[in-house]
């Protein structure tokens, strides 16, 4: 999946809590703009606002115990599309050229079972062309398109995978912004003296993810490992700069 090396390109991902309100979306835009001003080309991947995905699933459950999975993908992929449009508008309102792209428009090709699809390739030209034009490219996480041209989703928490896969294709760094301020060896809520790690290997991170550490989605770490993509994890709203996780 490797593309041409471009050190100035960064993929940033902001999760649902980080974009939960319009004010929070504006705060995210500010952070992105800081990095853009440093001269970086930026792709921003976002999740659905707050608990949107849960609410959408809940609506479907009011209709059926076992809703059709193609229709589920059609439904739950809408959450991310709200966020990309709003965030892109904030950039434009702040004087920055920007474009929002659905998974399909970003070239994300997937396969497998609906609601649990896997990315098998990304046709990156569209994203690259927009970056070349100087735009901040805002991509809907969690979604893609299968060989039938149907919208698919990547499983809960799948926006991490979108971000790392895009970084792999662009051969650049991936920054995951979330509501924790880094990665700890043990749960800091249970062990108050827990130390934040400066870095962690992909293997350890995968093990933690599979144990349900809740920081990053397992599949995303796998892709990072396979393509040796540096991943940083940091708090969205703290001022600590990119304080974590460089896989070795």
Residues that bind ligand ASP (CB under 6 A): 15-16, 47-48, 53, 79, 141-142, 156-159
40 binds, among Mg ion, ligand ASP, none (CB under 5 to 8 A by kind): none
**DSSP SS3 for 27:** helix
Nearer to Mg ion, 144 or 157 (CB): 157
Our CB check for ligand ASP shows the closer of 32 and 75 to be 75
Q: Which residue minimizes CB distance to ligand ASP?
A: 159
Position of tokens 């309102």? 93
Residues numbered 13 to 52 that lie near Mg ion (CB under 5 A) are: 15
CB of 56 to Mg ion, least distance (A): 14
CA distances from residue 56 to 72, 76, 169, 224 in whole angstroms, order as listed:
9, 6, 31, 30
Q: Helix crossing, 159-170 with 218-227: angle to 10°?
A: 10
Contacted by 156, from ligand ASP, Mg ion, none: CB < 5 to 8 Å by type: ligand ASP
CB of 2 to Mg ion, least distance (A): 26
Residue 40 or 47: the one with the smaller Cβ distance to ligand ASP is 47
Rounded to 5°, the CA angle 65-70-71 comes to 65
Distances (CA, A) of 177 to 104, 159, 181: 23, 11, 9
Residue ranges in contact with Mg ion by CB under 5 A: 15, 157
């Amino acid at each position: 999946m490797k593309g041409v090396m471009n050190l100035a390109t960064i993929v940033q991902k902001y999760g649902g809590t980080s974009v939960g309100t319009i004010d929070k979306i504006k705060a995210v835009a500010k952070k992105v703009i800081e990095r853009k001003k440093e001269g970086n080309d930026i792709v921003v991947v976002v999740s659905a606002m707050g608990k949107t995905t849960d609410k959408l699933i809940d609506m479907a459950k009011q209709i059926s115990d076992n809703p059709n999975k193609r229709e589920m993908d059609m439904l739950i992929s809408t959450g991310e599309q709200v966020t990309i449009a709003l965030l892109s508008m904030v950039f434009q309102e702040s004087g920055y050229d920007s474009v929002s792209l659905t998974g399909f428009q970003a070239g994300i090709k997937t396969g497998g079972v609906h609601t649990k699809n896997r990315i098998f390739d990304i046709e990156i030209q569209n994203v690259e062309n927009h970056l070349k034009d100087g735009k901040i490219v805002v991509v809907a996480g969690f979604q893609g398109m299968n060989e039938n041209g149907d919208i698919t989703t990547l499983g809960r928490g799948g926006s991490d995978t979108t971000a790392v896969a895009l970084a792999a294709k662009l051969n650049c760094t991936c920054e995951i912004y979330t509501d924790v301020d880094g990665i700890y060896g043990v749960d800091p809520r249970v062990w108050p003296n827990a130390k934040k790690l400066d870095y962690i290997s992909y293997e350890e991170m995968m093990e933690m993810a599979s144990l349900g550490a809740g920081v990053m989605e397992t599949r995303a770490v796998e892709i990072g490992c396979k393509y040796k993509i540096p991943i940083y994890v940091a708090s969205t709203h703290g001022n600590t700069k990119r304080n974590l996780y460089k896989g070795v």
